[in-house]
Chains A and B, each alone.
Chain A
Amino acid sequence: MPVAAARPPETEEPAVRRLYRSAEGRWLGGVARGLAGHLGLPVIWVRLVFLGLFMADGLGALLYAVFWIAVPLGVGGRSAEPRPVFETAPDGRRRLRKPDRGQLFALVALLIGAVAFVANTDLGGPANRYVWPVLLTGAGVVLVWRQADNARRAQWTGDGRRRRLLQLARGLAGVALVGTGLTVFVVVRGSAAQLGNVLTAALAVIVGVALLAGPWLVRMTQDLSEERLMRIRAQERAEVAAHVHDSVLHTLTLIQRNAEDAGEVRRLARAQERELRNWLYRPEGTGKDEAEEPATLADAVKRAAAEVEDKHGVPLEVVVVGDCPLDERLTAQLQAAREAMVNAAKYGGQGGPVQVYAEVEGRSVFVSVRDRGPGFDPDAVPEDRMGVRESIVGRMQRNGGTARLRSVPGEGTEVELEMERADG
């Protein structure tokens, strides 16, 4: 609730703090605790002030209730502020004991206050009838409200699953208390005889109100949820629009400018298609900025293929089966694979897309790069051409893997790389 923002902010504090009800170490709604944290006062003072105000015709209770309703639950007042002051107040060293002492003391004080209050109002004679029902009802309301707070808190912390039964019991107890309070109220007032009439009248009023306000309420909730849905949709659309604008429109503009350069157009379209596909079908997270270094084999293979594709304008079709984290050997294998992809794109790209296949099977990783280009005779490669010999075969052997190269003139070239993973 934005009402909390209306609290006068403590400007001396370096950070802008909002008033929250404290979820930690509270007795009732955490109002006193939150206030204490906010004002930088010992929590016991705040509590005593509330108690004192309570004596003044129950003003404290009213104030407390208003705070409870208006101020959102948070962790605001909990941290550094109240703790130390709290500890110095009653006695010496103990750290964990102290809140308990304080709590006990305050509880006793509260009890004395309540008794004093009751005794006080006792003088009024007939008013006494109302006191107990009101107290009962009040206790019930407090119980239920706190319950609602707890449910909310459980949402953030995620715990308390096993306490569900206890929560239910507490909620029911609260409802029962309120019910008893109200019943006693009716009975004590001596109108028990007309209970039937009263109930009928009450029912009639409730039904009447429901009939009058019901459709309007339903309409309002529907409008609200619809509005929320629309907002979510609009947000989503805005995000898609932003992405489409960022990449797709720019690419289309580039394509229009380079319309006569078929290779460039194809390259742009491929790159854009891949990016958009990534963005649309990504299983999780739609972040545009991926991490700089891929951490797994599948990502790394795809990344390498994408880079080669962009650079050489030849489509690479990547199929990855299984996945595993990268280690040193796999990185070497990837570098070899990348070299193979570059070769395939350079020399074999005219025969159609280059096929890249990577498979993790148990402890070994297999990568094959295959093109349908003209092929060549591996034995005829001059000694001074280091590409295949050093970057692929040599690199794999140095790192304990194997590389096989098969090339049939006219049918294309395939490079097979096999490597054991360094760790299980």
Chain B
Amino acid sequence: MTEQTDAADGTERRVRVVLVDDHRMFRAGVQAEIGRTEETGVEVVGEAADVDQAVTVITATRPEVVLLDVHLPGGGGVEVLRRCAGLVAAAEHPVRFLALSVSDAAEDVIGVIRGGARGYVTKTITGADLVDSIFRVQEGDAVFSPRLAGFVLDAFASTDAPPVDEDLDRLTQREREVLRLIARGYAYKEIAKQLFISVKTVESHVSAVLRKLQLSNRHELTRWATARRLV
């Protein structure tokens, strides 16, 4: 939606991206959509079609953002994340992962997010939105699609049992509100306006949710996943 708003202020934005997807046609499509570097600021520096290739290319090129397909030959996106864990956690120039999948099944989404991806978008996303998401991820934000927000809410919703670690395992009221608005299709800016907070605060709430999702609440997620026979 707001693809060029930041570019307008004169600071030339550039982001180096690696594209991981086993469909050549899809890679070509994404490349055509976002790869016009002068317009979008996105530079596709590498492509990979399976897990091994992905790890090699990512290690070699050290991109800022990896667009990662969830279903890949050789173990899937989760496996790529696992083998690139060092790069994700790197203090300087960490590699951020944005999952891009045709599947919006809960187990896929939650799986890669817990694996360390910074966001999740489906392949029906428009080119402009995708570019926007890439930049947000590069800046360290989490990108939540409405659907992802729905899954997270769902995962945290059925926590009637006493939580193991109150601080870690529960979403705060505010975080829940933010997620709910995301799930309802609001953009970060609109959420900020609605809740009378700044966009930065919205972003930090979302990041907190992401952290909680990755680090804590194994219990709830496991329970949630088992209840749905996902694991």
Contacts and interface: CB of A to CB of B under 8 A. Distances in A.
A and B: bona fide binding partners: yes
B184 A321 contact: no
Of listed B104, B105, B183, B230, residue having the most chain A CB within 10 A:
B183
A319 B229 contact: no
Interface stretch (B30-38, B85-93, B153-161): B153-161
A355 B124 CA distance: 14
Nearest to B179: A321
Interface residues of B, number: 20
B183 A321 contact: yes
Interface in B132-157: 146-147, 149-150, 153-154, 157
Contacts of A361: 157
A357 to B, nearest CB: 4
Interface string B183-198: 1111000000000000
A359 interface: yes
A370 B186 CA distance: 9
Contact of A320 (B103, B150, B186, B230): B150
Contacts of A317: 146-147, 185
A139 to B, nearest CB: 47
B149 to A, nearest CB: 7
B157 A322 contact: yes
Interface string A234-254: 000000000000000000000
Contact of A357 (B104, B124, B157, B183): B183
A319 B145 CA distance: 10
Contacts of A372: 185
Interface in B108-151: 124, 146-147, 149-150
B184 A357 contact: yes
Contacts of B105: 281
A319 B150 contact: yes
A370 B185 contact: yes
Interface of B: 103-105, 124, 146-147, 149-150, 153-154, 157-158, 180, 183-186, 228-230
8 contacts: A277-B104, A281-B103, A283-B228, A322-B158, A355-B184, A357-B146, A357-B185, A359-B153
Given A277-B104, A321-B157, A370-B186, 18 more contacts: A283-B229, A315-B124, A319-B146, A319-B183, A319-B184, A320-B150, A321-B153, A321-B154, A355-B146, A355-B185, A357-B150, A357-B183, A357-B185, A359-B180, A359-B183, A361-B157, A370-B184, A414-B184
